Each structure stands twice: as C-alpha cells, then as structure tokens.
Amino acid sequence: MEIQKRIEGDLLRVAVKGRLDAVTAPQFDKNLAAAVGQGEKEVLFDFSGLEYISSAGLRSLLVLSKRLKTFPTELLFSGLKEPVKEVFRISGFFSIFKIIDSPPAASDRT
C-alpha cells in the first residue's frame, strides 16, 4: 500500500494505492492519524489506485470518520474501482459516506 497526501487550502487529498487489508490497515491508521485534525475542512480520498479493501480497511475508515466528525471535517471518497465499490455497497457505505465519481480537479476548488 502507498499513501500520498497533499494539502490544498482547506482540503487534504489522500491518494491510496494497492491493498488496504489486515496487514496494511495499521500503517494506514498511523499515517492518517498524524495527518488529520490540522484544521482541514475536508479529507478527500482518491481511491483510483486502490485495488482491494477488506473489513480491516473498512474498520479504519469508520474509526477515522467517527473521529473526524468531532472537528468537524468532512470525508469524501472518489475514484472507486469496481471491487472496492462492491465492498462499499455490501457494507452500506454508500449511505454513510459521500462518494463522488472522480476527484474534482485542483483548479475547481480554489
């Protein structure tokens, strides 16, 4: 798994590539815990490089979103590939998270 972060004003962009599973989820948690809560208003996950997510990854997202709610920071997801979409669908994540088809271009947000 690879995580790339970029701050654009009030927005924190997080691109996640590879596999978010029981082995990599702790690394994801640690990486994100240190990055959020810095005054950003939105965290936008770019999942266009995410090939695989298991319940360990879903757990990380649930825990993170519950924590961000207190700031409050909004959590957005974009670029979901079919396998990840299916896992989100089975888990009912479409009703609790904002999921957009493709990440808005940086220029649209400034």
Partner 1 sequence: MPDRSVLVLPARLESLPEFMDLVRQFFVSHRFSPEKIGKIQLATEEALVNIFRYAYPEEGGPAELICRKEGEDRFLLEIIDQGLPFNPLTRPDPDITVDLEHRKIGGLGILLLKTLVEEVYYERIADRNRLTLVVHKARNPLC
* Structure tokens belonging to residue 83: 């396998």
Show the DSSP H helices in 36-108 as ranges: 55-68, 82-90
Cβ-based nearer residue to partner 1, 55 or 102? 55
Select from 110, 78, 108 the least CA-distant residue to 10.
Answer: 110
Contact 100, 76 (CB under 8 A): yes
Q: Rule CB under 8 A: is residue 62 a binding residue for partner 1?
A: yes
**Binds partner 1 (CB under 8 A): choice among 83, 98, 100, 106:** 83
Is position 2 an interface residue for partner 1 (rule: CB under 8 A)?
Answer: no
Cα separation, 1 vs 62, in Å, equals 19
Q: Considering beta carbons, is residue 3 or 62 the nearer one to partner 1? A: 62
**Which positions touch partner 1 (CB under 8 A)?**
21-23, 51-52, 54-56, 58-59, 62-63, 65-66, 69, 82-83, 86-87, 90-92, 95-97
